[in-house]
Structure 1
Amino acid sequence: MTQNNAPRLLLAGTGSGCGKTTVTTAILRALQRRGVTLSAFKCGPDYIDPMFHTAVLGVPSRNLDLFFEDEVGIRSQLARHIRPDGFGVIEGVMGFYDGVSGTTDTASAAHLARATGTPAVLIVRPKGQSLSLAAQIHGFRTFAENTLAGVILNGVSAGMYSFYKQIAEKAGLPVLGFLPPVPEAEIPDRHLGLVTADELSDLREKIDRLADAAEEGIDLHALCALAQTAKPLTDTHMPLARATDFPVRIAVAKDRAFCFYYEDNFDVLRELGAELVPFSPLTDERLPENIDGLYLGGGYPELYEKQLSENEIMRDSIKTAILNGLPTVAECGGFLYLLQSLDGAAMAGVLPTSAHMTHRLQPFGYVTFTANSDNLLCEAGGQFPVHEFHYAQAVDNGTDFRAVKPNGRAWDCGFASDTLYAGFPHLYFRAKTEIAANFVRKCAERSGK
């Protein structure tokens, strides 16, 4: 066990749309320009926000999710991934207290901050408010046990800052600065959230403009001093036992269409003995050579339907490999790619159903999976937590798992065999490392044939 005393902060929000990612990105870049060694994290299961952290820092941002992992495990993650001489920045999720089922603060940003002893700063956008701003902040400060220690005002002009600061301070928390509107640095969004970092050719310029604004409006010295009050962390992580005596090669789809992955999932697979081989279903002609498994993550295949469909050689390569028993995990967007068609565009044709995009969220949120039969990931009756978030609707969602939400709502979904998992729900391997180990073992079994 090792102890880590590195400073850290959690940047929380009053709700979605208050500008958490914008402010977090601005602060990360401003601190980076001052030579601070940074590690970034995202509370909850979001894939897109960590891409912006990664774009700033050049190193992976990691998810911290108390639905998937217990408090000891989360503290270990932080201790392991913040350098002893570094500085950790955690971006919250939704509103500060918004947790599982929407009726508890379990797995919320507030829960994460309490569980890790991390001081939290509340990001508030005071649009259309005056004195009510103080009442809002006071409510967050007093609603439940928390580590709130400051406020940042977002979307406030320099001319109005002193007015809002005076009001906000009536709530009993120090105001640590403001981020003004920076129109030239706005990041567009779409149905699953912000556009991904890789889609913005001028992202570096946008981030630097935000950092300029943070340098002028936010008291970075005060933020750093606040971060020093974070409680020490202990890393109790024990490396996983290898699931194979020899390395296995797992092809991982990584391009603009398939970009939703938990960095920790890659860590788990590597610990278990896998070598990860990236490839692009968009631009490559065939799967990489000499692979023993396939991992198709989520993303935006719906935005690249035509290009994916036109890459017929790749579609045929993947279909042939899977039908010939290549162990495969396909989540959400990866699942859609294995269908007969998506919005009428031909996909890989592995599974006997099709899908189309809708204009509203389908079943989403945290789910507990129970296997209805033996499969690649587990035996019948095996359980593990997953997360679902999508706008696509399949004609047939599969029936190989029983999905149950924390509120009791349940349905069958997912396609599985002894060599395949394919479904809308995303997997988090650290939550149940045995499912990843079973995947790697099956890859090793194939490799040894």
Structure 2
Amino acid sequence: MTGSVPRLVVAAPSSGSGKTTVATGLMAAFAARGLAVSPHKVGPDYIDPGYHALATGRVGRNLDAYLCGPELVGPLFAHGARGCDLAVVEGVMGMYDGAAGEGELASTAHVAKLLRAPVVLVVDASSQSRSVAALVHGFASWDPEVRVGGVILNKVASDRHQALLREALDAAGVPVLGVLRRAAPVETPSRHLGLVPVAERGAAAVEAVEAMRAQVERGCDLEALLALARSAGALSCAAWDAAEVVGAARPEALRPPEPLRSEGPRPQTPDGLRVAVAGGSAFTFSYAEHTELLTAAGAEVVVFDPLRDEQLPVGTAGLVIGGGFPEVYAAELSANEPLRKAVADLAGSGAPVAAECAGLLYLCRELDGLPMCGVLDATARMSERLTLGYRDAVAVGDSALAVAGTRMRGHEFHRTVVDPGAGTAPAWGVRGPERRVEGFVQQGVHASYLHTHWASLPGVARRFVERCRTS
């Protein structure tokens, strides 16, 4: 039964403690033993799941109680873990850090409770000895519903340092399940939005995952960790199913969009309605469930690379351009003039185009002075300011994704600015301390900085595919 899949949540007192190294290393180590390992990441992060996928050979999936709601965490987990022997869930930030002003919502601790999963606490021990016991005791006792089943000590300097740490933790009653020695960090380069994605690193990413595996195998008690994973409580929820939720999507989210006058017919392929999804190194941010929902709604999903492909896939009826790093590849994207024209022509025909963050930049007139697709009368540029955080949004008007008044939660994460920030028909009204409108809706285009998770509102995918059929 899927709900009985053994599982661990890898947490830490703070960011930078070594969660990604330990979680990815555990995934790779258990996979190397022949186990089918299901990889998961708490929160909206797109980059870590790429490393998880390399470690396990399975799609990395996110568990976000803010974007999708707490009620979907269990079903989405069960969906991803079907047929697996073990699941490893990498946490986010510090264990009890959640959505700002929302208490425990979307924290690692919250997700661990929803999954009834034991927690392994990764502690950076580089500047402490006996104090580690007080730290671990505090995290283990703060919330009685969170079960800290053991600790992995990271950046341990010597045998003497390890002995002091173990002696202190023995008194705290929390078992030490691993000790990673202080060493040269695994080569996982970062830039303005975090780790460099797997798709951009090729063989170097494979080597990094292998180094994490070797480090964890040397320092961790894998048998004890597997036994802890098997002690997880049973889940009673049913696994999420894309076809089921698309079929049951709320009628108010599916009001048929008005057909838009097209400048010309778009060819359809014999094998069905085709939705093109941007991929490659410039557009690496996507949730696996989006493709599954589009497929369940009747689309054939075809991935293309805007850095290399000069035309959209033959028969494209709709286009999805997710997040990524177009600012890093602006020159190459700009140089691909045939594809920029093809995107502009498709948008001009009234076809539905859903663009998030990087996709928004690509549709602008220019990015850092370089020509982009010119679908939107706006310019984009890099900025020193990081915009980061969850957002509560409401659709301002009808679009290819939703009807006016539809509420959806999103996440912003960028160091760019678009001018103007909203079109004459904005995409979203964003609630919060700074109420504002954001994004662009024109013809079939819906472009916005907000990353959304369509599993929270499956009618989005069904409506998008219906627009593909009628536009």
* TM-score > 0.5, shorter chain as reference: yes
Helix, strand or coil at the partner of 1:30: helix
* TM alignment of 1:218-367, pairs within 5 A: 218-233=220-235, 234-235=237-238, 237=240, 239-241=244-246, 247-362=272-387, 364-367=388-391
Helix, strand or coil at the partner of 2:284: strand
Conserved 8 A contact 1:153-1:179:
yes
Q: Which residue of 2 aligns with 1:110?
A: 109
Instruction: From the superposition, tell whether residues 162 and 403 of structure 1 become closer, same or farther in structure 2 (CA, over 3 Å).
Output: farther
Equivalent-residue separation in structure 2 for 1:375 and 1:71 (angstroms) = 27
Mapped pair 1:389 → 2:413: yes
Taking only the aligned residue pairs, the percentage that are identical comes to 38
Moved over 6 A (4+): none
Instruction: From the superposition, tell whether residues 58 and 167 of structure 1 become closer, same or farther in structure 2 (CA, over 3 Å).
Output: same
Instruction: From the superposition, tell whether residues 25 and 389 of structure 1 become closer, same or farther in structure 2 (CA, over 3 Å).
Output: same
1:67-99: per-residue Cα shift (whole Å, max 9, x none)? 122334221222222234510110001110111
Q: Gapped runs of 5+ residues in structure 2?
A: 248-253, 257-270
Task: Please state how far the C-alpha of 1:178 moved relative to its aligned partner.
Answer: 1.7
Task: Please state how far the C-alpha of 1:180 moved relative to its aligned partner.
Answer: 2.5
Task: Please state how far the C-alpha of 1:102 moved relative to its aligned partner.
Answer: 5.3
Mapped pair 1:10 → 2:30: no
Equivalent-residue separation in structure 2 for 1:402 and 1:420 (angstroms) = 13
Helix, strand or coil at the partner of 2:386: coil
The answer to which of 343-352 and 41-50 deviates more is 343-352
Task: Please state how far the C-alpha of 1:429 moved relative to its aligned partner.
Answer: 0.5
One-letter amino acid of the structure 2 residue matched with residue 298 of structure 1: G
Task: Please state how far the C-alpha of 1:207 moved relative to its aligned partner.
Answer: 2.0
* TM alignment of 1:184-199, pairs within 5 A: 185-199=186-200
Task: Please state how far the C-alpha of 1:186 moved relative to its aligned partner.
Answer: 2.5
Instruction: From the superposition, tell whether residues 184 and 105 of structure 1 become closer, same or farther in structure 2 (CA, over 3 Å).
Output: closer
Instruction: From the superposition, tell whether residues 78 and 421 of structure 1 become closer, same or farther in structure 2 (CA, over 3 Å).
Output: same
The answer to which of 199-208 and 305-314 deviates more is 199-208
Helix, strand or coil at the partner of 1:198: helix
Equivalent-residue separation in structure 2 for 1:295 and 1:308 (angstroms) = 16
* TM alignment of 1:120-131, pairs within 5 A: 120-131=119-130
Helix, strand or coil at the partner of 1:96: coil
Helix, strand or coil at the partner of 1:26: helix
Task: Please state how far the C-alpha of 1:402 moved relative to its aligned partner.
Answer: 4.2
Task: Please state how far the C-alpha of 1:184 moved relative to its aligned partner.
Answer: 6.4
Q: Which residue of 2 aligns with 1:372?
A: 396
Instruction: From the superposition, tell whether residues 184 and 151 of structure 1 become closer, same or farther in structure 2 (CA, over 3 Å).
Output: closer
Calculate the TM-score normalised by the size of structure 2.
0.89
Instruction: From the superposition, tell whether residues 102 and 175 of structure 1 become closer, same or farther in structure 2 (CA, over 3 Å).
Output: farther
Helix, strand or coil at the partner of 1:299: coil
Q: Which residue of 2 aligns with 1:152?
A: 152
Helix, strand or coil at the partner of 2:461: helix
Q: Which residue of 1 aligns with 2:54?
A: 55
Q: Gapped runs of 5+ residues in structure 1?
A: none
1:344-394: per-residue Cα shift (whole Å, max 9, x none)? 1111111111111112212x2111211222222222212111111111111
Mapped pair 1:431 → 2:456: yes
Conserved 8 A contact 2:130-2:164:
no
Q: Which residue of 1 aligns with 2:179?
A: 178
Instruction: From the superposition, tell whether residues 305 and 72 of structure 1 become closer, same or farther in structure 2 (CA, over 3 Å).
Output: same
Task: Please state how far the C-alpha of 1:276 moved relative to its aligned partner.
Answer: 0.8
Conserved 8 A contact 2:199-2:284:
no
One-letter amino acid of the structure 2 residue matched with residue 302 of structure 1: E
Instruction: From the superposition, tell whether residues 84 and 377 of structure 1 become closer, same or farther in structure 2 (CA, over 3 Å).
Output: closer
Helix, strand or coil at the partner of 1:215: helix
Equivalent-residue separation in structure 2 for 1:85 and 1:319 (angstroms) = 43
